[in-house]
Structure 1
């Protein structure tokens, strides 16, 4: 049994991934891949993981848990998606750290499935946009409640991943950036789901609806329908060229900068983020998907 945990992060996905996978549940079920509806497990898994953290688990507890979630019996892989697994919005930052409980939370989830091969997946984004988005998100409680006085220059996604690797060393992690996601989207769907067939995901083009005009969206969809790409590299090249041509800057969700942030400060945050990506790519057990 394989368990795939898509962990967010907050403000990077808004359930686009799970919605697309659920649109393809019939195709995936034919390969033994289950994508249960998130409403049936998000709170349950989060609360159970914390309640069972000091209790022994075994194959029987794993089977009982999955039996309560899955409808089919012939399942070899289950995909769970929830950005709240690592923290609720208000506690994405605490104790001057980003996702300080990331390692503990992943270890608790892994503890629920002792006889499964567990993988984790994560989207990250530039702190120069992530922190303002978090601060202005009503679920985080406002600037002060969300950021809690953290120094933005100290925010490192690599530290989040290192905590996860330390606390759950047998859980490999695949990570990609929000900035690269438009080019990598089909590959991300494949990686998280475990789908390796030739059949394309239905409705995968829905991801681009918010980035381009309806006319451009139809042109992109029509091109790929008539010209299927032979491999990931070819598709990346076509997607990059199309997005360079069709993307509408005014459609991009660019958050309002926080007080005191100017262009130079944002540039520094971005440079630190790019340096952090280099470090992430070298962490054992972490795979950084790049275009």
Structure 2
């Protein structure tokens, strides 16, 4: 059996590992919404409580040791509750690291490699895939502060970090160094209103023409209800032939029906003036350009940015 045949015969396991404030909850909800259709295709989206409990329990029992193949099989049996599946999809923003640990150094998610590697090792015999969404570091830190979660870590981070040094490339490099052979898909949370159907198809391993429920999940908080209804009617009557056509249509409806407050992301962080935010944002855009050009990453970007 060739290496390609062996990969095809293995169960595909997709782990979405975060980051915080970048749509992981939306992914979990969309997976649940599509669970029946996915099951018909041999794709399982088990309840989060099942896989979190099963994976945490095994990691504690292993105490740093790698699992043997029978332990991996038992883990998937526990997660799937006796169901068979060609693919399993699971998501948890804390796999990249708990929020407090994401903000305990001078860069974002400094321990992501050592956090994710033991989790990935649980699926050593599977066809493992990872995905992660990124977000402008200024908006990310603002969301951390606004959430009230990990307040001490957030305050210490704001006191000690040099904002201009925050680069997602550093985070991604640490992850790739720990897991260089695991396929990784990235996208920007800011782009999700335009690319959400593509994101869900990529996570599920489905073809471009696959129909999914919840294709407007990333738009609901950004567009007025009337505009969303009109958009759905328009797309039903004028199915876009390309991703670019779909994105142009969504942008047109956002321009007309977008909620101004939802589309504006103010940043009010101590010590972060307009010049600092502009620098952080420019570095973010530079990082996205660099990451999207890498051969070892699948980067989902709006069609207008592709290539």
TM-score with structure 1 setting the length? 0.92
Query: CA contact under 8 A between 1:140 and 1:146: conserved in structure 2?
Result: no
Distance 1:14 1:253 in 2: 21
Query: CA contact under 8 A between 1:96 and 1:148: conserved in structure 2?
Result: no
Distance 2:244 2:130 in 1: 24
Aligned to 2:155, the other structure's residue is in SS state: helix
The one-character-per-residue Cα deviations of 1:188-243 (angstroms, maximum 9, x if unpaired) are 01011112274421232233221011111111121122222234333223223322
Distance 1:91 1:43 in 2: 21
Does residue 262 (structure 1) correspond to residue 273 (structure 2)? The answer is yes
> Which moved further from structure 2: 92-101 or 21-30?
92-101
Query: CA contact under 8 A between 1:93 and 1:146: conserved in structure 2?
Result: yes
Does residue 202 (structure 1) correspond to residue 213 (structure 2)? The answer is yes
Aligned to 1:5, the other structure's residue is in SS state: strand
Distance 2:121 2:68 in 1: 9
Distance 1:267 1:106 in 2: 31
Aligned-pair Cα RMSD in Å:
2.0
Query: CA contact under 8 A between 1:156 and 1:273: conserved in structure 2?
Result: yes
Q: Cα distance 1:52–1:212, how it changes in 2: closer, same or farther (>3 A)?
A: same
Aligned to 1:193: 204
TM-score with structure 2 setting the length? 0.87
Does residue 57 (structure 1) correspond to residue 67 (structure 2)? The answer is yes
Q: Cα distance 1:103–1:177, how it changes in 2: closer, same or farther (>3 A)?
A: same
Does residue 69 (structure 1) correspond to residue 79 (structure 2)? The answer is yes
Out of 241, 265, 290, the position equivalent to 1:230 is: 241
Query: CA contact under 8 A between 2:66 and 2:122: conserved in structure 1?
Result: no
The alpha-carbon deviation at position 74 of structure 1 amounts to 2.8
The alpha-carbon deviation at position 131 of structure 1 amounts to 1.3
> Which moved further from structure 2: 188-197 or 114-123?
188-197
* Count of residues in correspondence between the two structures: 291
The alpha-carbon deviation at position 259 of structure 1 amounts to 1.6
- List gaps (5 residues or longer) in structure 1: none
Aligned to 1:178: 189
Matches within 5 A, 1:102-181: 102-142=112-152, 143-145=154-156, 147=158, 149-181=160-192
- List gaps (5 residues or longer) in structure 2: 1-10, 303-307
Aligned to 2:226: 215
Q: Cα distance 1:231–1:49, how it changes in 2: closer, same or farther (>3 A)?
A: farther
Aligned to 1:63, the other structure's residue is in SS state: helix
Q: Cα distance 1:27–1:256, how it changes in 2: closer, same or farther (>3 A)?
A: same
Query: CA contact under 8 A between 2:33 and 2:214: conserved in structure 1?
Result: yes
